[in-house]
A and B are shown apart, each in its own frame.
Chain A
Amino acid sequence: MKHPPPENPGDLTGKVALVTGGTRGIGLEISERLAKRGADLILVFKKDVENAKAAEARLAPIGRRIQLIQADLRKPEGVDSVFEQVATGLDQIDILVLNAAFGTMGEVHRMGRASWRASYDTNVLSPMLTAKGALPWLKQNGGVITATSTLGAHTAYPTYVAIGSSKAAMEALVRFMSFEWAKYGIRANSVAAGPVDTRAIDWFRYPEAVRIFTAKKGLAGRMGMPHDIADIAVWLCTDESRWIYGQSIIAEAGILLGVDYEEWSPNTGADASEGGAA
């Protein structure tokens, strides 16, 4: 287990992965990569049955078993129903991907109690309940937990406090799970993604501004795509990362890595004249 044969690193044949929010966006890219490495899938989704069926159809040609489960993971009874269906379905979980996310956009001074609670219920309470529910299976063969987080847990963007702060709490939860469950051979880590072009970008009040900013600042001259993050998340699910415990990998293509004074030169025009305010 600790030292797999080097001829087949990263292989997940025989494993079962439960992915929350696994039927769209980053979650679907993760599901596809896990299946291509040989894992069977349990995909949990909340509402959109049609989309879930479409995801299943897209993944089916890879040839792995797929169990679709509809549930609201913010409610204890929703979580219970997931694991009842796991028990009567694939009855195995080696990899848990905590990917389902939700957030209300808005500044602190505009934040309402219900919006705040909704973000924390999806991003903190639900991962805790889900991981706890999966624990009996994860314990059996030394499982792995990978959570998708956000750069907003480490820095600040406009209107992002409910998501950023709740994901920071989730990363702390992941660290504690790793700490408490290391004795079972369970590893837990997060990927904190910079802005990625999913439908969540449209939650921003000015999504086009986010797109332009990240394309201009980032390494690739383009916005992050779900596959950029999925590749990292899946690597964290393999034995290749066996020595990584309780960490959060920040993946943002250098968007916020440094301040480049060149673009603030007083001689370069309009940008610079208003640059001091930014």
Chain B
Amino acid sequence: MTDVMCNRFEGQVVLITGASRGIGAAIARRFAAEGADVAVGYHQSKEAAEAVVAEVEAMGRKAVAIQADLTDRKGAKTLFEGFHAAFDRLDVLVPAAGHAEIKPLEEMDVETWQRSFAIHLDAVLETCKAAYPLLQESKGRIVMLSTVGAHAAFTGFAAVGAAKAGLESLLQYMASEWIKNGVRCNAVSCGTVDTGILERWAIGPQVREFVQSKTVGLGVAKPEDVSPIVAFLAAEESRYIVGFTLVADGGMTLGIDFEEWVHAAYGKDAKL
């Protein structure tokens, strides 16, 4: 038997917001597979959240679904009332709730802009603050989710990108202030992930084509490509990493590949 990573969270409790679908659901499954009990935060997708709970229970772990609208000022309070009703400790918080509305800046309205900051920044701050007392007791960890859209511009993505850039800054402050009490905070900054969101965007097909064909990387990630990274940042192995945003984009933003332009300029047979 080799020294593998398979039960690093035995006896621990993990709270994931936005866990009914997509990346959040994959994270819930991964922690459960490694022995954790899981609180599944969700906003609207009750059935999907209950399905995740059922999957976690099938792995022999405890799970509860907790409904809360985190864009509401009382959302975090609601979430933690539900949490305290089921669990008396918290080891890992993953504030994964989010959504992305695509809109070019000239069409940007205050409501869209504020919705993005409300969920990606304000809600994360409030959720983390509400979790902080429990996390101090357990010497817990927070793993936030960001996007490479915080570091580079993808047309129409400004509301999310700017809010997540704010989140990455919040991370540094939180990590710096809270590490003194033993709470370790980090983030994963994702490239494009197949969460069903591409199907909901008008420009989804173009985004997929760009990521698959025009970057040097692996293309669009599956949620299961992201969840091991979140687990790593919550595990003892990463004990020396604090306040860091780890880019995980399959190489999507590594650099600029000229191949297409070489072909445009010199014909299909030209080689770099």
B225 in contact with A243 (CB, 8 Å): yes
The smallest beta-carbon distance between B220 and chain A, in angstroms, is: 11
**Most A C-beta atoms less than 10 A away, residue of B175, B182, B217:** B217
Binds B, one of A33-41, A110-118, A201-209, A265-273: A33-41
Contact for A245 among B172, B179, B217, CB less than 8 A:
B217
Chain A residues positioned under 8 Å from B250 (CB to CB): 243, 245
Contact with B along A1-28 (1 / 0, CB 8 A): 0110011111111000000000000000
Measured CA separation A209–B119 after assembly (Å): 44
Nearest to A229 among chain B residues (CB) is B240
A9 in contact with B240 (CB, 8 Å): no
B224 beta carbon closer than 8 Å to chain A: yes
Q: Which of B1-39 contact A (CB under 8 A)?
A: 2-6, 30, 33
- Count contacts on A: residues with CB < 8 A to the other chain: 48
A228 in contact with B254 (CB, 8 Å): no
Nearest to B250 among chain A residues (CB) is A243
A232 beta carbon closer than 8 Å to chain B: yes
A200 beta carbon closer than 8 Å to chain B: no
A99 beta carbon closer than 8 Å to chain B: no
The smallest beta-carbon distance between B187 and chain A, in angstroms, is: 12
Task: Provide the main secondary structure of the chain A interface.
Answer: loop
B246 beta carbon closer than 8 Å to chain A: yes
B60 beta carbon closer than 8 Å to chain A: no
A224 in contact with B247 (CB, 8 Å): no
Binds A, one of B63-71, B79-87, B101-109, B231-239: B231-239
Chain B residues positioned under 8 Å from A241 (CB to CB): 228-229, 232, 248
B2 in contact with A244 (CB, 8 Å): no
Measured CA separation A145–B217 after assembly (Å): 16
Chain A residues positioned under 8 Å from B216 (CB to CB): 179, 182-183
- Count contacts on B: residues with CB < 8 A to the other chain: 45
Measured CA separation A3–B223 after assembly (Å): 11
B228 in contact with A9 (CB, 8 Å): yes
B122 beta carbon closer than 8 Å to chain A: no
Binds B, one of A52-60, A80-88, A123-131, A251-259: A251-259
B207 beta carbon closer than 8 Å to chain A: no
B206 beta carbon closer than 8 Å to chain A: no
Measured CA separation A211–B221 after assembly (Å): 41
Contact for A249 among B179, B246, B249, CB less than 8 A:
B246
A245 in contact with B175 (CB, 8 Å): no
Chain B residues positioned under 8 Å from A224 (CB to CB): 240
Contact for A8 among B6, B184, B191, B242, CB less than 8 A:
B6
B240 in contact with A232 (CB, 8 Å): yes
B218 beta carbon closer than 8 Å to chain A: yes
B229 in contact with A240 (CB, 8 Å): yes
Chain A residues positioned under 8 Å from B240 (CB to CB): 193-194, 219, 224, 228-229, 231-232, 251-253
- A-B contacts, 13 listed (Cβ < 8 Å): A36-B2, A37-B2, A219-B239, A231-B240, A235-B238, A238-B5, A244-B247, A247-B247, A247-B248, A250-B244, A253-B242, A254-B175, A254-B242
| Contacts A245-B218, A258-B243 known; 10 new A-B pairs at CB < 8 A | A3-B222, A36-B3, A182-B216, A231-B236, A232-B241, A243-B226, A244-B246, A244-B248, A249-B244, A253-B239
